[in-house]
Amino acid sequence: DAGITQSPRHKVTETGTPVTLRCHQTENHRYMYWYRQDPGHGLRLIHYSYGVKDTDKGEVSDGYSVSRSKTEDFLLTLESATSSQTSVYFCAISATSGSYEQYFGPGTRLTVT
């Protein structure tokens, strides 16, 4: 299994509070991604990173920001959480060679009350 961990695994927070989710990899892969998974929507890309300090927006980036100060860590921040951001968040990583598949972390279940 690819070495990807996410923290926390579960979080309940109140509307309007800031939240940061962490993704940590031990594979030294260049690319990292944040997705959200919601019933009826499958997986949707929030942001991704193609190197240290290099990030770009995905399909559903509004209300989210990311940072990557080290190869191994990719942080997702909700500046002011809203109930619509209640979801399961997955981190993924991908190498720059081979068949380019992505490997996923175990997920973080976030509930915004």
Residues that bind another protein (CB under 8 A): 31, 41-43, 45, 48, 50, 56, 90, 92, 94, 96, 99-107
DSSP 59-80: TT-TTEEEEEEETTEEEEEESS
Q: Which is nearer to another protein, 65 or 103 (CB)?
A: 103
Residue closer to another protein by CB (options 85, 94) is 94
- Among 80, 84, 82, 36, smallest CA distance to 58 is for 36
CB of 46 to another protein, least distance (A): 13
Measured from the CB atom, the residue of 62 and 101 that comes closer to another protein is 101
Q: Is the peptide bond before 106 cis (omega within 30 degrees of 0)?
A: no
